[in-house]
Every structure is written in structure tokens, then in C-alpha cells.
Chains A and B, each alone.
Chain A
Amino acid sequence: EIVMTQSPATLSVSPGERVTLSCRASQSVRIYLAWYQQKLGQAPRLLIYGASSRATGMPARFSGSGSGTEFTLTISSLQSEDFAVYYCQQYNTWPYTFGQGTKLEIK
């Protein structure tokens, strides 16, 4: 099973800041990496697929990069609605696996 490790676990940031979240895979997943946003009490929402492609309707302030084992999600200027938990997920190899999540908190 491919283990996905996200860092940091929690990030305290202010609205308007630029933030970068990291995700590392225990072995190469090529570019088969997705990012999700989950707000409290809601289902996850797909943000990024293929490591860098924005899902339909996702704002341009969200961007993804990386390949192989190292990936990042960048939010260029945090909006109030972006405070949530973010998960990466590999779909290169079954079982598909999620990272443990990074929680963005308001500073």
C-alpha cells in the first residue's frame, strides 16, 4: 500500500496569505494525484486531479504541482471560504490512499 504523508498537519494563516501544502508518496504515483477540500460537515470536494489540473469550477487561486513522490498544493491568496481540511489522494495503484490531511486555520 502506498502511504501518503501530508505536512504540516495544521497551518495557521491569515486571509490574503499565500500557502503551500505538501504531500509525499512512499513510492512513485507518477502524476496520478488528486487534492480535495473538506469543510466541516461536508463531503470532500475535488480541487485538483492529475497533480496539476483544476477540477471544473475550482478557482484559479488553487494550483497543484509535482510528480513522482513530491507534490504541492498552493493557494495564492487565501479567502475566508478556504479554511478547511485538505487531503491528497493517489490513484496510481489500488488501494487508492489518502494523506491524513492538512487543516488550515485562521490565525
Chain B
Amino acid sequence: EVQLVESGGGLIQPGGSLRLSCAASGFTVSAHYMSWVRQAPGEGLEFLAVIYGDGRTYYTDSARGRFTISRDNSKNTVFLQMNSLRTEDTALYYCARGNDNGGSDYWGQGTRVTVSP
């Protein structure tokens, strides 16, 4: 059974750092593209970063320069290192698996990040 379990969220002050983890089971993360998507309270969905099977990474403007997506194949886990956090980064952060045919077919339950003084 495919599962994604995010962790690492919490309450952090502006300017702080967090490292989110997405532990996968039931498939190999290096065989799919994996994404981080966030959802601010009461808002829609926003892609942040993606890592492809060959290791290529891409970022949106919101994430570029502050966030880093990475992968540990031995742990079958994807990470999102978030630095210089701002109040507007407050959101529920999801990791999602890329479907071979398009879209993201499996999502974790999300980990909540709150950036507040």
C-alpha cells in the first residue's frame, strides 16, 4: 500500500528554519517525481518544489532561494529544508507523488507550519 507521511512542522519564529520530511512506503521515491505543495489557511493549493527521478529539482518563485528539496534514497524519504521563514509561509505542507501519466496520485496528510513572532 502506498503511503506518504509528513513530519517536521511546528511553530517557528520569522527568520527561522524547519526541515520537513516525507517518509514513503509502498513504492520507491526515486522512481517517481515528488512534490511539495502547500495550502495556506482557507486558501488554495500552491506547488513549491519538485524533484524528479534523475535528481533534477525545480522551484517556484515562492520557494526559490529559501527552500531546498532533496531525497534520501536509502530512507525512501523526501525533504524540504525551509530557511528564512516568513509569516506568509504559514500553511499545511503536503508531499505528493507524481503519477506516471500526469498529476499527483498520492498525497500525505500534511504537516502544519505556523510562522509567528
CB of B45 closer than 8 Å to a CB of A: yes
A34 near B50 (CB under 8 angstroms)?
A: no
CB of B72 closer than 8 Å to a CB of A: no
B110 near A43 (CB under 8 angstroms)?
A: yes
User: Min CB distance, B98 to chain A, in Å?
Assistant: 8
Chain B interface: which size bin?
20 to 34
A98 nearest in chain B by CB position: B45
User: Min CB distance, B33 to chain A, in Å?
Assistant: 10
Chain A interface: which size bin?
20 to 34
Given A43-B94, A43-B109, A98-B44, the answer on whether A32 and B102 have CB atoms closer than 8 Å is: yes
Within 8 A of A (CB), among B71-101: 94, 96, 99, 101
User: Min CB distance, A4 to chain B, in Å?
Assistant: 10
**Residues in chain B within 8 A of chain A (CB atoms):** 35, 44-47, 50, 58-61, 94, 96, 99, 101-105, 107-110
Query: Could you pull out 22 A-B pairs where Cβ atoms are within 8 angstroms?
Result: A1-B61, A32-B102, A34-B102, A34-B104, A43-B107, A44-B96, A44-B107, A46-B99, A46-B104, A49-B101, A50-B102, A53-B101, A55-B99, A56-B105, A94-B50, A94-B58, A95-B59, A95-B61, A96-B47, A98-B44, A98-B46, A101-B45
